[in-house]
Structure 1
Amino acid sequence: MSLDTVVKDIREEANARAEDIRSEGETRAEEIESAAEADAEEIRADAEAEVDREIDQLREQRLSSAKLEAKQKRLEARRDVLGEVREAVEDELATLEGDTREDLTRDLLEAASEEFDEGNDVNVYGRSDDAELLESIVTDYDGYEYAGEVDCLGGVVVESDQSRVRVNNTFDSVLEDVWEDNLQGISNRLFEQ
Structure 2
Amino acid sequence: MSLDTVVTDIREEAHARAEEIRAEGEARAEEIESAAEDDAEETLERAETEVEREIEQLREQRLSSAKLEAKQERLEARRNVLGDVREQVEAELVGLESETREDLTRTLIDAAGEEFDEGDDVSVYGRADDQALIESILADYDGYAYAGERDCLGGVVVESEQSRVRVNNTFDSVLEDVWEENLREISNRLFEQ
Question: In the aligned structure 2, how far is the partner of 1:24 from the partner of 1:109?
Answer: 112
Question: In the aligned structure 1, how far is the partner of 2:9 from the partner of 2:108?
Answer: 129
Secondary structure of 1:42's counterpart equals helix
Question: In the aligned structure 2, how far is the partner of 1:110 from the partner of 1:101?
Answer: 14
Question: In the aligned structure 2, how far is the partner of 1:95 from the partner of 1:115?
Answer: 29
Question: In the aligned structure 1, how far is the partner of 2:72 from the partner of 2:27?
Answer: 66
Question: In the aligned structure 2, how far is the partner of 1:192 from the partner of 1:101?
Answer: 32
**TM-score, scaled relative to structure 2:** 0.95
Aligned pairs (5 A) from 1:116-131: 116-131=116-131
- What do residues 98-132 of structure 1 show as CA deviations (whole Å, max 9, x unaligned)? 22111111111111111111111110000011101
Partner of 1:161: 161
Question: In the aligned structure 2, how far is the partner of 1:149 from the partner of 1:21?
Answer: 113
1:71: Cα distance to partner?
1.0
Question: In the aligned structure 1, how far is the partner of 2:11 from the partner of 2:115?
Answer: 128
Question: In the aligned structure 1, how far is the partner of 2:70 from the partner of 2:144?
Answer: 55
Aligned residues: 193
The one-letter code matched in structure 1 to 2:162 is: Q
Secondary structure of 1:142's counterpart equals coil
Question: In the aligned structure 2, how far is the partner of 1:142 from the partner of 1:64?
Answer: 66
Partner of 1:43: 43
Question: In the aligned structure 2, how far is the partner of 1:93 from the partner of 1:147?
Answer: 22
**Identity across matched positions, percent:** 79
Bigger drift between 47-56 and 112-121 goes to 47-56
Long gaps (5+) in structure 2: none
1:32: Cα distance to partner?
0.7
Secondary structure of 2:37's counterpart equals helix
Aligned pairs (5 A) from 1:51-66: 51-66=51-66
Matched, 1:21 2:21: yes
| Superposition CA RMSD, Å | 1.2
Question: In the aligned structure 1, how far is the partner of 2:159 from the partner of 2:46?
Answer: 79
Moved over 3 A (4+): none
- What do residues 44-98 of structure 1 show as CA deviations (whole Å, max 9, x unaligned)? 1211222222222222222112111111111111111111111111011111122
Bigger drift between 59-68 and 129-138 goes to 59-68
**TM-score, scaled relative to structure 1:** 0.95
Partner of 2:178: 178
Question: In the aligned structure 1, how far is the partner of 2:118 from the partner of 2:61?
Answer: 68
Question: In the aligned structure 2, how far is the partner of 1:30 from the partner of 1:44?
Answer: 20
Partner of 2:98: 98
